[in-house]
Amino acid sequence: MEQSTKASLQSFRSNLSAAKLALPSVLIANNEGDLSLMDFPTSRHEAWKYTRLSRLAKIQLESTIAAPIDWEDFNMVKDAYTFVFQNTTCIYISNDLPDGLSIKIGDEIATTDWLSSINESHVAKLNVAHAQNGCLINIAKGIQVDKPIQIIYITDGPKQPNFWRNQLNIEVGAKANIHIGYFSKDAIDSYSNVHWSVFLKENSHLIMTKIQNDGEANFHFSTENISQLKDSNFTLNTVTLNGAFVRNDVLVHVEGENCETHLNGAYIMKENQHVDNHTTVDHIFPNCNSYELYKGVMDDKSTAVFNGKVFVRPNAQKINAFQSNANVLLSDDATINSKPELEIYADDVKCSHGSTTGQLDLEAVFYLRSRGISETEARSMVVAAFMTDVLSKVASNDLKSYIYQQLAARFNLHLQGED
């Protein structure tokens, strides 16, 4: 018999404060009841098969007050409308927002502002139960925001719990580009749990780029629930550069015809790091396209999980859905568990999926060395080349150069901008 371990989730929660955000009853009604019956999932749960939570379960989180910091140290791009959270405090707000872009922080967000966004995982339910702060961003009808919106989250201090909950409304015909950065400072055995509910109205356009650059001992959970209406175009770029443990759950509901969905992921991991990307694209309506490309490079004893699901519902004809996951393992001890899945219930669709995992192309490394390039540099060039196509999908040049700088500093990877 499996020993009941409900005690561990309850004990994990024992020091956590109740939610401070005024969430609506549709979210909170059954949440406590559901959580009381739940525990940390084990490897018996399909969605957590390769991602163990036992070490996290043993940590006693404790919120502490962090000393003021200079958020500029974590700034990714200069020219943006920026909001910064240090733990659960909003420490910086751009004050020159253009017409049509409105942002509410924390208790400015009314209960009625929150739209229903329900996710059954323990991660999302913990977020509802303990959400401390977050933002609600609204891009008004027909508005095209002239600069990127940048939201920076910094987890500061050991054993720090951070629960952020956010909502993004892109109204009819509106267009925005949002950069989200997750960082940490002295975050030993800390925990960040962030939830984004994203609503794309008809004919709206959103590019959302997440940079996950947490410290080497932080546990990070990120959930995005996206709803796309007719004629909308959504891109999510997930770039994971650091973090002891990173779990991404992305769920896209394509709820209208003629939508386009792009999910791009890049993860570059070393040491004992673990990254897990779970994505679902649910095609409910016909005549839509979705494209998914996740690429990873794993060194040392790092591990990665990719699980991408595409559902095509019975009436969703004329769907083009493409999904691909490619990995390069740089060491014998690195591991990738990749599982692309398609579930198709319509008969007039074009779908493909694939997964590849290989070693570094040593013939290419030899070729470069034979021209006088050092082995280290040659390996780095070949790795960078492998990642180039997915990273080139990051739409903002400023953000791309930020990513390239990080790769150069952390992995000695030198990517070149597109000429």
Q: Give whichever of 99 and 418 is closer to other proteins, judged by the CB atom.
A: 418
Residue with tokens 């996290």: 56
**Residue 158 main-chain phi, psi, to 5 deg:** -70, 150
Using alpha carbons, select from 219, 188, 43, 58 the residue that is nearest to residue 123.
219
Nearer to other proteins, 68 or 417 (CB): 417
What's 122-165 look like in SS3? HHHHHHHHHCCECEEEEECCCCECCCCEEEEEEEECCCCEEEEE
CB of 375 vs other proteins, minimal distance in Å: 7
Shortest Cβ 97–other proteins spacing (Å): 39
Closer Cβ to other proteins, 35 or 268, answer by number: 268
Q: What does the alpha-carbon distance between residue 10 and residue 148 come to, in Å, rounded to a whole number?
A: 40
Residue 113 is given by DSSP the state G
The nearer residue to other proteins, 68 or 372, going by C-beta atoms, is 372
Nearer to other proteins, 352 or 374 (CB): 374
Under DSSP, is residue 376 helix (H, G, I), strand (E, B) or coil?
helix
Residue closer to other proteins by CB (options 290, 380) is 380
**Judging by beta carbons within 10 Å of its beta carbon (0-12, 13-18, 19+), is residue 216 exposed, middle or buried?**
middle
The residues binding other proteins (CB under 8 A) are 361, 363-364, 366-375, 377-378, 381-382, 384-389, 416, 419
CA 177 – CA 145 distance, rounded (Å): 8
Q: How far is the CB of 85 from other proteins (least distance, A)?
A: 36
For residue 361, the minimal CB distance to other proteins (Å) is 8
Q: Which amino acid is at 299?
A: D
CB of 343 to other proteins, least distance (A): 32
Task: Report the C-alpha gap between 151 and 94 in whole angstroms.
Answer: 10
Name, in order, each residue with C-beta under 8 angstroms of 55's C-beta and a sequence gap of 6 or more: none
Smallest distance, other proteins to C-beta of residue 384, A: 7
Q: Which is nearer to other proteins, 59 or 373 (CB)?
A: 373
* Nearest distance, CB of residue 414 and other proteins, angstroms: 9
